[in-house]
Amino acid sequence: MKTSEIKAMSAEEITIKLAELKKEFFNLRFQHGAGQLENTAVLPKIRKDIARLMTVSREMNLTIS
């Protein structure tokens, strides 16, 4: 997910997407721990997407206040 895509989202959409990605990351970590995850490159990708969403969310909160 690109930063420009995230900045085009509303605050509610960012919150929803963030919750979805955190849930997905949690499940993937369990799969990785159990040895069932085939594509381990997904983990850093999702972690970076979560960080991007949190960064843009923080920027939005600071500009609103």
**Residue 63 pLDDT grade (very low, low, confident, very high; cuts 50, 70, 90):** confident
> Which tens digit of pLDDT belongs to each residue from 11-61?
999 999 999 999 999 999 999 999 999 999 999 999 999 999 999 999 999
**Amino acid letter for position 9:** M
What is the count of structural domains for the chain? 1
Render the chain in DSSP notation, one character per residue.
--HHHHHTS-HHHHHHHHHHHHHHHHHHHHHHHHT--S-TTHHHHHHHHHHHHHHHHHHHHHHH-
pLDDT of 64 > 80? The answer is: no
**Which sign, positive or negative, has the C-alpha torsion 48, 13, 39, 32?**
positive
pLDDT of amino acid 65: 63
Say which CATH number the domain at 51 has.
Answer: 1.10.287.310
- Look up the domain containing 32 and give its range: 3-64
